[in-house]
Amino acid sequence: MSNIAVRVFVSIGLFAVFGGIFLQAVVAGDDVPKPIGHYPERNVAITEKWKEVKDGYSNPKKYTPPVVKEAGKDCVKCHKVLTPVAVKDWEDSKHYEKGVGCESCHNDHSNLIMPTPDTCGTCHASETMQHRAGKHSIAWSVKVASGGKGGGAGRFLAQYEEMKEGSCGGCHSVEDKCDSCHSRHKFNAKEALEPSACGTCHMGPDHAQLDYFESSKHGVIYGIEGKGVEEGGRAPTCVTCHMKAGNHDVSQGLTLGGASQGKFVGNKDTGAGYSKSPNGILMNEITEGTYKRERAKMVTICMDCHSKRFAEHKLSVADGIKVASDAVAGEAIKEIKGLYNDGLLNPMPEDRPENPFVGKKLMLTGHQLYEQTSGVEALFFEMYKFDLVHAWKGAYHFSPDWTHWYGNAPMKMKLSRIKNEANQLRRLDKLEKALDIEAEKVDFDE
């Protein structure tokens, strides 16, 4: 049956059962998205429909419920017809078994909510506290969406609303949603043990952990046996190394290899904040003490299966790759800063739409934008955000191919291209000056 047929069928069924009292809530709005014909503006909604719920499903603290008249307390009676599979999933869950009903997570229609970790936390306090202690819990409000001074990611604030929700929000919502790894409404703990449960988010050009893992010896054995050590197999999975004994704080045991650009050993612990590393890359800073303490935690995990010496050695291989790769990116930063100081970026930051975070200044790494920028900065974006991280994130997950062919090799080739581009920009500048020609700048109209 087609979707429309199902809808009609369900609507007729409902009408028959409930006399159509809430039909108004089932009928979708008539907004039809039309072509817009210009570069999308920042911070505006493209479709009318989006404005109804805004990002309330990704950001349940901001959720606004639909108007459903005369909905009583008997959730299952209506929802067995309206959302039959959701009800069935719930009936298959431990919650059903233990009498945790729809209203425990959603209240009722007079005060309907989408559950946040606080909702789950009323019954699962320790998982919620652990989740709150790790970086999953600052993914949205601190790092990405909190506009204004000091907060909010540049690349987020440069998007229109649907893009913010459909991309950044699809992953960074992990902060306020406990259904990121446990899918609703089964909430099956075993399902979350699968590496693919992390995979919606931990994949792609800037953090391909699922792919690193799958191509590592660990992942290959997991693939052959179809189960990790938690379920009687030989291989560790994401959860073995990052959620030891079900600990929901995924930030345990990380040293140089944390989220995004990772960390460097300096004089202080910046926590979730950033310092500029000696190579000019914005990242978290940690002390030697933190490095040693967190490394020891990870090595203890490896030691269930490997010797201490083996584990420490293999992790130091990855450490070496991290610090050496950061230094390669540092060379590119020096080159681009030189072009900036000489006014040779095309266009210069002051001649293009502003970076929401730093305005019309040069921003490399951190809140750097990938759009409406100069060619040489775009090349650098690919280098630091994609190639550089594959080199060392691949290494921390023991994937030789990602480390080398998707990491080291393209990173170093991009350094050559960046130096080449810089050389051409300088030669062109000389020529234009010698011939007294006015330089033509790339124009992005705002």
By CB under 6 A, what part of segment 177-196 binds ligand HEC? 177-182, 184-185, 187-189, 192-193, 195
| Closer residue to ligand HEC (CB): 335 or 385 | 385
| Cα 276 from Cα 19, distance rounded (Å) | 64
| Cα 252 from Cα 201, distance rounded (Å) | 19
Of 171-179, 347-355, 409-417, 431-439, the window that binds ligand HEC (rule: CB under 6 A) is 171-179
Which of the residues 222 through 251 are near ligand HEC (CB under 6 A)? 229-230, 234-243, 246, 248, 250-251
| Cα 433 from Cα 421, distance rounded (Å) | 18
Which of the residues 52 through 111 are near ligand HEC (CB under 6 A)? 57, 60, 65-66, 68, 71-79, 82-83, 86-87, 90, 94-95, 98, 100, 102-106, 108-109
**To the nearest whole angstrom, how small is the minimum distance from the Cβ of residue 430 to ligand HEC?**
38
| Cα 315 from Cα 300, distance rounded (Å) | 12
| Cα 126 from Cα 120, distance rounded (Å) | 10
Contact between 355 and ligand HEC per CB under 6 A: no
| Closer residue to ligand HEC (CB): 72 or 150 | 72
Contact between 114 and ligand HEC per CB under 6 A: yes
Q: Contacting ligand HEC (CB under 6 A), which of 306, 404, 417, 426?
A: 306
Q: Contacting ligand HEC (CB under 6 A), which of 218, 352, 385, 390?
A: 218
| Cα 285 from Cα 267, distance rounded (Å) | 8
Collapsing DSSP states into helix, strand and coil, what is residue 359? strand
Contact between 172 and ligand HEC per CB under 6 A: yes
Indicate the helix (H) or strand (E) that contains 132.
Answer: helix 125-133
Contact between 373 and ligand HEC per CB under 6 A: no
| Closer residue to ligand HEC (CB): 237 or 277 | 237
**To the nearest whole angstrom, how small is the minimum distance from the Cβ of residue 277 to ligand HEC?**
13
Kindly state the number of chain residues that form the binding site for ligand HEC, as judged by CB under 6 A.
126
| Closer residue to ligand HEC (CB): 183 or 423 | 183
Which of the residues 140 through 169 are near ligand HEC (CB under 6 A)? 143-144, 153, 155-156, 159, 167-168
| Closer residue to ligand HEC (CB): 103 or 350 | 103
| Cα 154 from Cα 163, distance rounded (Å) | 14
Residue type, 319: D
**To the nearest whole angstrom, how small is the minimum distance from the Cβ of residue 181 to ligand HEC?**
3
Strand partners, 263: 284
Contact between 364 and ligand HEC per CB under 6 A: no
Strand partners, 265: 286
- The span from the first CA to the last CA of the chain, in angstroms, equals 47
Contact between 122 and ligand HEC per CB under 6 A: yes
Of 310-318, 341-349, 372-380, 428-436, the window that binds ligand HEC (rule: CB under 6 A) is 310-318
Contact between 174 and ligand HEC per CB under 6 A: yes
Phi-psi sector, 268: left (phi>0), alpha (psi -120 to 50), beta: beta
Q: Contacting ligand HEC (CB under 6 A), which of 161, 162, 165, 255?
A: 255
Contact between 265 and ligand HEC per CB under 6 A: no
| Cα 180 from Cα 60, distance rounded (Å) | 13
Contact between 41 and ligand HEC per CB under 6 A: no
Contact between 298 and ligand HEC per CB under 6 A: yes
| Cα 175 from Cα 143, distance rounded (Å) | 10
| Closer residue to ligand HEC (CB): 83 or 426 | 83
Strand order in the sheet with 282-286: 263-265, 282-286, 275-276
Which of the residues 5 through 34 are near ligand HEC (CB under 6 A)? 18, 22, 25-26
Q: Which two tokens stand for residue 289?
A: 């003490």
For residue 442, the 8-state DSSP code is: P
